[in-house]
Amino acid sequence: MRILIWVGSSKKDLINFPDSIVDIVGHSLNEVQNGRVPQNAKAMKGFGGASVQEIVENDDNSTFRAVYTVALKQGVYVLHCFQKKSVKGIRTSRPDIELIKARLKRAKEMDAELENEKGN
């Protein structure tokens, strides 16, 4: 089982989702930790293949997303959890994309640091 590593405010943001969404996303992340791909996960466009995935879950009037990567050695990095602001269209907002890119860069740095610690 791989460990979950939360980047930035992603854990705090997830906890602020409705309880039913937190439960579903938590279960999905557990599946990811155990090497499975949840049914509610898909590759996020714009990140070169399947290196960045998103869990998509809806309630009555909102869409919630948890973005993560399994492409790094030390664990499953949860990069961003957010409520999609627009109910029309499927495009993720530019600020969310930029935040995910910045947190992916930070996750790579964290992964290298953890690798170094294990080597010492």
Fold of domain 4-119:
YaeB-like fold (3.30.2310)
- Tell me if residue 120 falls in helix, strand or coil: coil
| Region of residue 94 (phi > 0: left; psi between -120 and 50: alpha; otherwise: beta) | alpha
Give the pLDDT score at 4: 97
pLDDT in tens, 11-64: 999 999 999 999 999 999 999 999 999 999 999 988 877 789 999 999 887 899
DSSP string, 26-73: HHHHHHHHTT---TTEEEPTTSSTTSEEEEEEE-SS-EEEEEEE--SS
Widest CA span in the chain = 50
Tell me the whole-structure pTM to 2 decimals: 0.93
Looking at residues 71-81, what average pLDDT do you find? 97
Domain ranges of the chain: 4-119
pLDDT in tens, 78-103: 999 999 866 566 788 899 999 999 99
Both structure tokens of 53: 């995935």
